[in-house]
Structure 1
Amino acid sequence: MRGLIGALLLAALGGCSTSPISADIADPVPSTRMYAFTEKNAAQLVVTRDSGIYGAEVRFILHIDGKPAAEFHPGEVARFGLAPGKHILGVSKYMLFGTSRIIESEIDMKPGDLVRRRISQHGSSFSFTPTAY
Structure 2
Amino acid sequence: MKFIAVMLALLVVAGCSTSPISSGEASKVPSSRLHAFTNKQESTLVVTRDTGILGAACNYKLYIDGVFAAEFGSGETAAFGLKSGSHVLGIAAAAPCGGAGLLESEVVVAAGQVAKRRIYTNHSGFRLTPTSY
What is the TM-score when the length of structure 2 is the normalising length? 0.93
- Structure 1 unpaired stretches of 5+: none
Shift of 1:109: 1.4
CA distance in 2, matches of 1:96, 1:102: 15
CA distance in 2, matches of 1:9, 1:106: 38
CA distance in 2, matches of 1:42, 1:99: 32
CA distance in 1, matches of 2:2, 2:101: 41
On the 8 A contact 2:62/2:71 being kept in 1, the answer is yes
Counterpart mapping for 1:1-133 below 5 A: 1-96=1-96, 98-123=98-123, 125-133=125-133
State the identity as a percent: 47
Shift of 1:94: 1.3
CA distance in 1, matches of 2:130, 2:40: 21
- Secondary structure, counterpart of 1:96 in structure 2: helix
What RMSD in Å do the two structures reach over aligned CA positions? Answer: 1.4
On the 8 A contact 2:58/2:97 being kept in 1, the answer is no
Point out the more displaced range, 69-78 or 123-132. 123-132
Count of aligned positions? 133
What is the TM-score when the length of structure 1 is the normalising length? 0.93
C-alpha change, 1:123 and 1:95, in structure 2 (3 Å) is: farther
Shift of 1:95: 3.4
- Secondary structure, counterpart of 2:94 in structure 1: strand
